[in-house]
Chains A and B, each alone.
Chain A
Amino acid sequence: MSNFGLLMANLHRHPVRTYLTLLSVLVAFLLFGLLRTLAVWFGSGPAEGASVDRLVVAAKYSIVDMLPISQMNVIQGVDGVEAVTHQSWFGGNYQDARSFFPKFPVAPRSYFEMFPEFTIDPAELEAFERTRTGAVVPEGMLTEFGWSVGDKVPIEADIWPMADGNRIWEFDLVGTYTTDVEAQGGVFLFHYDFFEEARSFAKGTVGWYTVRIEDPDRAPEVANAIDSLFENSMNPTKTATEDEFGKSFAAQIGDLGLMATGILSAVFFTVLLLTANTMTQALRERIPELAVLKTLGFGNPRVGWLVLGESVLLCVAGGVMGIGLAALLAPAATAFLPQFGPSALAFTWQTAATGVGVAVVLGVVVGTVPAMSAGRLSIAEALRRS
């Protein structure tokens, strides 16, 4: 047997209590891992797939407001702007709401010129341009839904019924595109002209513009120039880099960063009380045994370390398991982020390291007082009480 064996044996004294405490620590660190991952995503620089030479122009007050397509020419004329294209949020469901993927009406050629990270066969792009009801999808979507080029795909509208009252939009799959950017991989693209012609309201509008600028260093200047053009119009705009746009979209769902901090504080406070209670109980029932250890010649510091070690071991074990679980779950959580999100959630080593650090601190905070009283324990008195 070793000192570690002694520690483990003590933790096994009340397995149920130990495992419940471990579980509460685990859950706390699982939450920590996931929320930290979100926070890292919010705080990160331009993420994968977000380009520094592209700006997004959206309605100033709410990104669900539409913008008149007439603004496109005006933006094109702004000094420093190289190209402009537009997208809109279609919503809608294919089969059932669970198989969700975003669907954007776009201007085929300018869209693919704007996003060189999406590649499409020139012949298929031409077909896309030519076919009014045409749509193109990432290759993965074909296998996912068992489609092939030439199929008709019905989408049931939720926001946008057709002018004739029909809610089923039928698209012709004319091609596929490839992308190496995972989070943007799932967009179903269809022809804006069809959308414009068939929808029942808000004609002549688009969701937002994407703008390529000549010089990334001048991004703030160009963004200001665009916004000031429309400032006093019916449709004021807010221009940001792609990355900021994705994040502000997510931020509109709720102030996640602040919420995360609040939740974490509450959770850790609870876990602190829980583990502190466990350790205090563990100490109280073990006073005679600690006195025996001292009788056998275990020094005061050694007995204190044993108690502290137990608390740290418990917290670190729970912490490592919780963070490990968070690392496994973080990629899956990406599915719940808006599809504009510039990047997938990435679980970072910093998050893991911070988590383990927090676990150690938690163990030390919880274990210090019991460890000190264990160290101070007087043998003769403790033996008399037993």
Chain B
Amino acid sequence: MSIIELNDVHKSFVKAREAVEVLMGIDLRVEAGDFVALMGPSGSGKTTLLNIIGGLDGATAGEVVVAERNLDQLSNRDLARWRAATIGFIFQFYNLLPVLNAQRNVELPLLLTKLSAKQRRRNAQTALSIVGLDDRAGHKPGELSGGQQQRVAIARAIVADPPILVCDEPTGDLDRENAEQILDLLQILNRDHGKTVMMVTHDPKAADHAKRILHLDKGKLVREMAA
């Protein structure tokens, strides 16, 4: 069974009293351990699709099954718990909490677990060392470079050990060198830690790191190619 399975998924938004259809019948299967790049023009619905897979937004119609759960059958509360356990999110602008240092940002998802304070600290340290930032644990986001912030965000995404990583333009705000570091990191997480990666990107070079490349245009998956 695929870890991500979408059947005829539709999504529309009501804008100025008019329904705008953003996703028009998406069928998608992603196997566990895959690394998928999702490309497409601006406004084609990439973020919307990612949000639906990550349980941040609901589909208007169709079936969304991720990690063996049918998402539209989950209550708000169960969906939040499911997200905490299943999905690690990585955003273009890192979305770290500015008032917390790197260590505490990474610890955040663990507040929802039953781990002891000591265990939480230890796990956060491990996650930070995986992304190569153990020496920056005490720094706040404002004191870190963009590339470093994104690595902290990756540490936060993996600290609770979710099977799926959902990344929305993770290198969109970074220079080539930093982008490569992040992509290498995602590749390691995919290859060595078995994470399924679902990544939106505009950058063909970034997409080259994926095993599969999907193209979305005007709300439809238009073609697929193996990387």
Which residues of A come within 8 Å of B, CB atoms?
1-3, 5-6, 9-10, 12-13, 288-289, 292-300, 379-380, 383-384, 386
B80→A6 contact, CB < 8 A = no
The CA of A383 and the CA of B169, in the complex, are separated in Å by 14
Which among A13, A297, A379, A383 has the highest number of chain B CB atoms within 10 Å?
Answer: A297
A2→B77 contact, CB < 8 A = no
Q: Which of A288, A298, A379 contacts B112 (CB 8 A)?
A: A298
Which residues of B come within 8 Å of A, CB atoms?
47-48, 51, 54, 56-57, 76-77, 80-85, 89, 91, 93, 95, 97-100, 103-104, 107-109, 111-112, 117, 120, 156
A380→B83 contact, CB < 8 A = no
B112→A9 contact, CB < 8 A = no
B97→A292 contact, CB < 8 A = yes
Residues of A within 8 A of B111 (CB): 1-3, 6, 298
B104→A380 contact, CB < 8 A = no
A380→B77 contact, CB < 8 A = no
How close is B178's CB to chain A, nearest CB, in angstroms? 21
Q: Which of A297, A379, A384 contacts B109 (CB 8 A)?
A: A297
The CA of A293 and the CA of B51, in the complex, are separated in Å by 15
The CA of A2 and the CA of B108, in the complex, are separated in Å by 9
Residue of A nearest to B89 (CB): A295
How close is A384's CB to chain B, nearest CB, in angstroms? 8
B84→A296 contact, CB < 8 A = yes
Q: Which of A2, A6, A297, A386 contacts B83 (CB 8 A)?
A: A297
Residues of B within 8 A of A3 (CB): 111
Give me 6 other A-B pairs in contact (C-beta within 8 A), A289-B98, A386-B93 excluded: A1-B103, A6-B104, A293-B108, A295-B54, A296-B156, A297-B109
The CA of A10 and the CA of B82, in the complex, are separated in Å by 26
B83→A295 contact, CB < 8 A = yes
How close is A380's CB to chain B, nearest CB, in angstroms? 4
Q: Which of A2, A292, A300, A380 contacts B95 (CB 8 A)?
A: A292
Residues of A within 8 A of B93 (CB): 386
A383→B100 contact, CB < 8 A = no
How many A-B residue contacts, CB cutoff 8 Å? 76
B83→A289 contact, CB < 8 A = no
Residues of B within 8 A of A296 (CB): 83-84, 89, 108-109, 112, 156
How close is B65's CB to chain A, nearest CB, in angstroms? 19
Give me the 7 closest cross-chain CB pairs, A-B, nearest first.
Answer: A297-B84, A380-B57, A299-B80, A9-B99, A1-B104, A297-B83, A379-B56
Chain B, interface SS category: helix
Residue of B nearest to A301 (CB): B77
Residue of B nearest to A378 (CB): B57
Residues of B within 8 A of A288 (CB): 95
Contacts A296-B109, A300-B80, A380-B51; A13 near B95 (Cβ below 8 A): no
Residues of B within 8 A of A12 (CB): 99
How close is A226's CB to chain B, nearest CB, in angstroms? 71
Q: List 8 A-B contacts (CB under 8 A).
A: A1-B104, A9-B99, A295-B56, A296-B89, A298-B80, A298-B111, A379-B57, A386-B95
Residues of A within 8 A of B89 (CB): 295-296
Residues of B within 8 A of A298 (CB): 80, 111-112
Residues of B within 8 A of A1 (CB): 100, 103-104, 107-108, 111, 117, 120
Residues of B within 8 A of A292 (CB): 95, 97
Residues of B within 8 A of A6 (CB): 100, 104, 108, 111
How close is A11's CB to chain B, nearest CB, in angstroms? 9
Residues of B within 8 A of A13 (CB): 98-99
Residue of B nearest to A384 (CB): B47
Residues of A within 8 A of B56 (CB): 295, 379-380, 383
The CA of A295 and the CA of B80, in the complex, are separated in Å by 8
A5→B104 contact, CB < 8 A = yes
B80→A297 contact, CB < 8 A = yes
Which among A1, A300, A379 has the highest number of chain B CB atoms within 10 Å?
Answer: A1
The CA of A5 and the CA of B103, in the complex, are separated in Å by 13
How close is A170's CB to chain B, nearest CB, in angstroms? 71
Which among B47, B82, B95, B120 has the highest number of chain A CB atoms within 10 Å?
Answer: B95
Residue of B nearest to A289 (CB): B97
A2→B117 contact, CB < 8 A = yes
The CA of A386 and the CA of B98, in the complex, are separated in Å by 14
The CA of A3 and the CA of B111, in the complex, are separated in Å by 7
Residue of B nearest to A8 (CB): B99
Which among B57, B77, B80, B91 has the highest number of chain A CB atoms within 10 Å?
Answer: B80
Residue of B nearest to A3 (CB): B111
The CA of A296 and the CA of B117, in the complex, are separated in Å by 18
How close is A156's CB to chain B, nearest CB, in angstroms? 64
Residues of B within 8 A of A300 (CB): 76-77, 80
The CA of A299 and the CA of B109, in the complex, are separated in Å by 12
Which among B47, B82, B108, B117 has the highest number of chain A CB atoms within 10 Å?
Answer: B108
Residues of A within 8 A of B85 (CB): 297
The CA of A3 and the CA of B120, in the complex, are separated in Å by 13
How close is B54's CB to chain A, nearest CB, in angstroms? 8
How close is B164's CB to chain A, nearest CB, in angstroms? 13
The CA of A3 and the CA of B89, in the complex, are separated in Å by 21
How close is B155's CB to chain A, nearest CB, in angstroms? 13
Residues of A within 8 A of B47 (CB): 384
A297→B112 contact, CB < 8 A = yes
A299→B107 contact, CB < 8 A = no
Contacts A1-B107, A379-B57; A10 near B81 (Cβ below 8 A): no
